[in-house]
Amino acid sequence: MKPSVKYALSISLALSLFTGCAPQPTPAKPITIDSTLPVPSLNGSLSDITTIAFEWKAISDPRVSGYSVYRSIDGNQTLLRIADIDGRFATHFTDDKLTPNTQYLYRFASKGKEDIESNGSETMNVVTLPMIAPISFFQSVGNMPRSAKLIWRPHTNARISGYAIDRKNITDQVWSEVCVINGRLNAEFIDTGLKDGQVYDYKVRALTYDKLSTLPSEITKVVTKPLPPEIKKITATTNLPKAIALKWEPSPLSDFSHYNLYRSSRSDGTYSYHAKLLESSFTDTTKEDGEALFYKITAVDKDDLEGTLASVGTQGVSLTKPLTPIEYDGKIGANGVDLQWGNNDSRIITYTIIKTTKISWIKSEVLEIHSIKETKFHDTDIKPNVGYSYEVVGVDKDGIRSLPTKKIDLLYEVK
């Protein structure tokens, strides 16, 4: 029997691939080669996209405690130890997380005790399979309200388990995965919650059952439906009794639904929803004469998208009260009360006299005398030693009353 031959290798010594000699691995620490240890005899290999599997003949030598696996890295001709397999009865090894369509070189050695190895096996040249082709047809449907519809042709490869959708907002230029769709035959995705009138890029990747991803498809661009344009040329009246009439430029929307009217009592106040309108005009009622209100109007389309509110509201004012009569004076005597006043507002067409009779110190009676057309009034309905007060109000054609004059207090005393 020949004596065992052992020799030590330097830690920096690389494997020679071209001399036909035993492999010279470069482990983490020096290894002793025992040429009498049986060399693994490889049956062959099977390649996948990112995985290569090997099989060798079983070794019965009890000195063998396992196996060392050597592989080239990044196309380098130097082989480095990448794995240790415990147990001499092992006959299979799988190397994963490899690069698709890439050539690798492998050698195997049996291990003895205390960092003793056999000579290396034959060098195997193995190539991983190419990656599955990307999706060939990918399109989008745009101008949808806050959403985008994506369609593609289902992948023909039965290893595909589903699809990953990637999206990029044009403003931030960052790709992100927005959805994973299970099922090879699925061919549609609707992305929701998008911004109005925004541009988005999409691409789709096919996914395999073993968690691999194909290269992305070509990029498709989507523009979401914009908001309705701002309503312009709003006008509001200032001359209607207890009312404000509004008009505005009709919305150019082809899918117009309605207008929303918002109202506020202050130009810089909070505008509250007031009415839903179908026409480009509206008459609003007010509670007071000369009441000022501010308005903003938006258009709403059939997808319920609403345009933005204008930055500045449009002011309307109901018709103000007529001016109070002037130069008001009154006298009382045995023949009655004589009142006279002046008119400084052409809107006034009649007057109303407000007569208050003091019945007692805690009780009085108020009487209004309407439709007086002259700027004077004679009242014969008086009693001696009874106090009276008079006010005059101007009234226009719409029945809007001015503020009253100051009261004139009169008393006809008889002793």
43-54 pLDDT, tens digit each: 999 999 999 999
Closest CA to 54 of 110, 152, 126: 126
pLDDT > 90? residue 98:
yes
The number of beta carbons lying within 10 Å of the beta carbon of residue 415 is: 4
The label of the residue with tokens 């389309």 reads 301
368 CB contacts (<8 Å, ≥6 apart)? Answer: 352, 353, 354, 355
Percent of the chain past pLDDT 90, that is, above it, reads 87
Classify each residue of 86-97 as buried b or exposed e, where b means 16 or more C-beta atoms within 10 Å of its C-beta.
eebeebebebee
Structure token digits, residue 402 = 């001015």
Residue 302 CA to residue 40 CA, distance in Å, equals 75
pLDDT > 70? residue 206:
yes
**Fold held by 6-127:** Immunoglobulin-like (2.60.40)
Residue 101 CA to residue 132 CA, distance in Å, equals 10
At 263-301, the pLDDT tens digits run 999 999 999 999 999 999 999 999 999 999 999 999 999
What is the pLDDT, as a whole number, of residue 73? 73
pLDDT > 90? residue 28:
no
Closest CA to 57 of 125, 121, 123: 121
Structure token digits, residue 302 = 């059939």
Please classify residue 223 by burial: count the beta carbons closer than 10 Å to its beta carbon, then call 0-12 exposed, 13-18 middle and 19+ buried: middle
Q: Same CATH topology for 235-317 and 326-411? A: yes
pLDDT > 50? residue 125:
yes
pLDDT > 90? residue 311:
yes
What's the CATH number for 326-411? 2.60.40.10
Q: Give the pLDDT band (50/70/90) at residue 77.
A: confident
Residue 303 CA to residue 309 CA, distance in Å, equals 18
What is the pLDDT, as a whole number, of residue 29? 63
Q: What value does the mean pLDDT take over residues 87-101? A: 95
198 touches 117 (CB < 8 A): no
Amino acid at 210: D
Domain 138-223 in CATH 2.60.40.10: yes
Mode of pairing for the β-strands spanning 32-34 and 116-117: parallel
35 touches 4 (CB < 8 A): yes
The number of beta carbons lying within 10 Å of the beta carbon of residue 380 is: 7
Percent of the chain past pLDDT 70, that is, above it, reads 93
Q: DSSP character for 174? A: -
Q: What value does the mean pLDDT take over residues 361-386? A: 94
pLDDT > 70? residue 22:
no
pLDDT > 80? residue 15:
no
The number of beta carbons lying within 10 Å of the beta carbon of residue 151 is: 15
Q: What value does the mean pLDDT take over residues 107-127? A: 94
Closest CA to 305 of 155, 144, 176, 153: 144
Q: DSSP character for 303? A: T
The label of the residue with tokens 């000369």 reads 290
- Give me the torsion for CA of 360, 361, 362, 366, rounded to 10°: 60
Q: What value does the mean pLDDT take over residues 207-211? A: 94
Boundaries of every domain in the chain: 6-127, 138-223, 235-317, 326-411
Q: Which tops the pLDDT comparison, 31 or 349? A: 349
Kindly state the helix (H) or strand (E) to which residue 399 belongs, with its residue range. Answer: none
The number of beta carbons lying within 10 Å of the beta carbon of residue 388 is: 22
Output the CA–CA distances (angstroms, integers) from residue 342 to 175, 177, 369, in the order listed.
80, 82, 18
Domain 235-317 in CATH 2.60.40.10: yes
What is the pLDDT, as a whole number, of residue 74? 66
pLDDT > 60? residue 24:
no
Torsional sign, CA 213, 216, 220, 224: positive
Closest CA to 235 of 299, 286, 289, 281: 281
Q: Give the pLDDT band (50/70/90) at residue 230.
A: very high
Residue 111 CA to residue 132 CA, distance in Å, equals 38
Mode of pairing for the β-strands spanning 281-285 and 160-169: unpaired
What is the pLDDT, as a whole number, of residue 6? 35
Mean confidence (pLDDT) of the chain: 91
CA atoms within 13 A on the CB side of 164: 16
What is the pLDDT, as a whole number, of residue 115? 86
Output the CA–CA distances (angstroms, integers) from residue 406 to 83, 104, 108, 403, in the order listed.
109, 109, 117, 9
Please classify residue 316 by burial: count the beta carbons closer than 10 Å to its beta carbon, then call 0-12 exposed, 13-18 middle and 19+ buried: buried
Q: What value does the mean pLDDT take over residues 313-327? A: 97
pLDDT > 70? residue 1:
no
